Structure 1
Amino acid sequence: MTPELLALGATALIHVAIVGWSQKSLEADVGHEGNVGTRENLDARLSEKTKRLRRALANHTENIALFVIAVVMVQFTGSNGWFTAICAWVFVIARALYVPAYAFAWVPYRSLIFTVGLVACLAMIIASLF
């Protein structure tokens, strides 16, 4: 298995962890019944931290697609190498740091961490094109 595919698997595990953290925080705010209910007017009942966690989860979900594309392109073009491996793991580390940075409002570091992950992902795509 290539380092890029391992990084993709690690990204999936990070996603599961974010979902769990977000749900635990949501349930702390609204209780079990509120969590399994219709969720009408839910946002009004959530803490700021839970709202940030839910936005971080949405951001992570959006960014997984670009990373999947990068990994698929690298795999199919045979562009695997030390550069793409490093980029893949930089992306994973950035995503793992991004969620707590978002949850705990680490400004401006959150944006810097996001940018590092995005650049790493784009570098993989560009490397696969040449």
Structure 2
Amino acid sequence: MTPELAALAAALLVQMATLALMAVVANRELGPRVTLSPRDPPLPPLSSRLGRNLRAVSNGFEGLVLFAPAVLLVHFTGQSTALTQIAAWVYVLARLLYLPAYVLGLVPWRSLLWAAGFFATLILILSALI
């Protein structure tokens, strides 16, 4: 497995952990009666902590939509270099640090970490084109 694919696997695990953490917070706040329901009626008001967890999960999926194809582009074009390997792991590290930064409302760190992941993904895409 290439380092970029290993980073993709790690990014998926980070996203799964983010989702699991959000589920724990949701179950504690809303209770299983709400979280196990079909959610046909609107959800009750959410705390800022749960709202941030939900948005972090959504943001993680949005990031993976770009990151996963970027890694596959590098892999299938054989363009793996030290730069692409570092970029892939920068993305993982940025996502790992993004969750606590977002949930704790750490300004401007949340935005800077998001930007680090975005530009790491951009580097992967541009490297596959060269």
TM-score by length of 1: 0.96
Aligned AA (1:66): L
Match of 2:49 in 1: 49
RMSD: 0.9
Aligned AA (2:17): A
The DSSP-based 3-state class of the residue aligned with 1:107 is coil
Where does the alignment leave 5 or more consecutive residues of structure 2 unmatched? none
Match of 2:117 in 1: 117
**2:90 paired with 1:90:** yes
Aligned AA (2:42): N
Give the distance between the partners of 2:27 and 2:43, measured in 1 at CA: 11
Match of 1:20 in 2: 20
**Alpha-carbon offset, residue 65 of structure 1:** 1.1
Give the distance between the partners of 1:81 and 1:63, measured in 2 at CA: 22
Give the distance between the partners of 1:99 and 1:121, measured in 2 at CA: 18
* Moved segments of 4+, more than 4 Å: none
Aligned residues: 129
**Alpha-carbon offset, residue 43 of structure 1:** 4.7
Aligned pair in 2 of structure 1 residues 117, 36: CA closer, same or farther (>3 Å)? same
Match of 1:6 in 2: 6
CA contact 1:43–1:51 (8 Å) conserved in 2: no
TM-score by length of 2: 0.96
The percent identity for this pair of structures is 40
**Alpha-carbon offset, residue 37 of structure 1:** 1.2
